[in-house]
A and B are shown apart, each in its own frame.
Chain A
């Protein structure tokens, strides 16, 4: 067993887990952060995407023990400072960018990191940005609209 400590959304959290514990399961089962969803568990669907030291990664393809000491941001950490919806969450809400919501945490984290680096994407770039995230409900039209809307919100064009 290994003692693993990570900072999740600004809060230091620890648990003792076996080496084979995936980061996705560590977040959900050991730390109770159930915002991160687990889809395919082999890195294809993107539902479990979290930010590791600010960069999007698949939490199902990491061992918790391997990222001991890291800074993590999950969908819960993408909220606004006042606890309300963050800009990307708000855009997904406004544009109906989710239906069942299963894939949404992966989209929110992926898009949050993308817009930080690319504040004014074209529609084509928005599609490219979410290319690694699968949604089986929406047909992606509203998700693409959400990415562009989130960018506008963040640019202050709310």
Chain B
């Protein structure tokens, strides 16, 4: 359980980091919080020749709210995002979901952007980014590109990040006024990976009818799955809308699989129940 040998780089600027990543190509890997990467190395599931440590790049540690977007830099720890008062005021879902990411000791070191890049289908942040239709900005020595969530999560543990690229920032759009969110999940212990997790975003009209409702799920597919719940609840008074019907709609859309943690049937059941609960909770938060 010891990591394989690697060449260690500690660039002093983003430009330096991009230069090293350009040089090392597929043999280079970014070390941010390391809370997913280091277990992978310790278990010898990967053996990159070069690690590029960005932990001294304070310029990437920002959490800022501007122009309807919460911007989270590559070095912002989960704990910093969770604590950030302005980010919470603008987008409560970030704190609602981040509180379910592992345990405090992991959140103190792990980063939000790192979780996105790791693209674990059981992780919360990829589903949050998908639910909000956010995006990730990727930088390389030859320029920058911004990839929307729908194209960023390619498969289990696979994102659109290419060799030589550094994910510098995630952009979480703030939903329109009258919106509410909720995050619920079931895990064996608090902090374990979810057997099923759901985030719901509802937007209400001035007369408290459901104008839009969407959900995103973890641990029920290879990538974060989003489901439009409008068919079940759009136009209905939010407080009496049939959220159980929304749950049934979602349960019919997901394609969970059996694994050591739960059967597909149990996961589908959780999708229905958690969607109904989260829908009501999101309305209460709107």
Where the two chains meet, the residues of A that have a C-beta atom closer than 8 Å to any C-beta of B are 2, 18-20, 22, 25, 40-43, 46, 49, 52, 55-58, 60-63, 65-66, 110, 114, 128-129, 131-132
Contact A62 B38 (CB under 8 A): yes
Q: Closest approach, in angstroms, between the C-beta of A44 and any C-beta of chain B?
A: 8
What DSSP secondary structure best describes chain B's contact surface? Answer: loop
Given A19-B6, A22-B38, 7 other A-B residues pairs in contact with their CB atoms under 8 A: A20-B2, A56-B104, A57-B105, A63-B34, A65-B53, A110-B105, A129-B104
The 9 closest A-B pairs by CB, nearest first: A132-B103, A19-B8, A41-B1, A42-B39, A56-B105, A61-B38, A55-B108, A20-B3, A131-B191
Contact B2 A58 (CB under 8 A): no
| Chain A residues with CB below 8 A from B35, complex form | 43, 58, 61
CA of A42 to CA of B262, assembled, Å: 23
| Chain B residues with CB below 8 A from A41, complex form | 1-2, 42
| Chain A residues with CB below 8 A from B5, complex form | 18-20
CA of A20 to CA of B42, assembled, Å: 10
Contact B8 A2 (CB under 8 A): yes
Contact B106 A42 (CB under 8 A): no
Q: CB within 8 Å of A: which of B21-43?
A: 31, 34-35, 38-39, 41-43
CA of A140 to CA of B141, assembled, Å: 51
Contact A22 B189 (CB under 8 A): no
CA of A119 to CA of B271, assembled, Å: 37
With A20-B2, A46-B105, A132-B102 known to touch, is A62 a contact of B34 (CB < 8 Å)?
yes
| Chain B residues with CB below 8 A from A63, complex form | 3, 8, 31, 34, 38, 51, 53
Partner of B1, one of A42, A66, A132: A42
With A42-B1, A131-B189, A132-B191 known to touch, is A20 a contact of B6 (CB < 8 Å)?
yes
Partner of A66, one of B4, B31, B39, B41: B31
| Chain B residues with CB below 8 A from A58, complex form | 35, 105-106, 109
Q: Closest approach, in angstroms, between the C-beta of A110 and any C-beta of chain B?
A: 7
Which of A2, A52, A63, A131 has the most B CB atoms < 10 Å from its CB? A63
Contact A66 B108 (CB under 8 A): no
CA of A52 to CA of B51, assembled, Å: 21
Chain B 1-20 per-residue mask, 1 if CB under 8 angstroms from chain A, else 0: 11111111010000000000
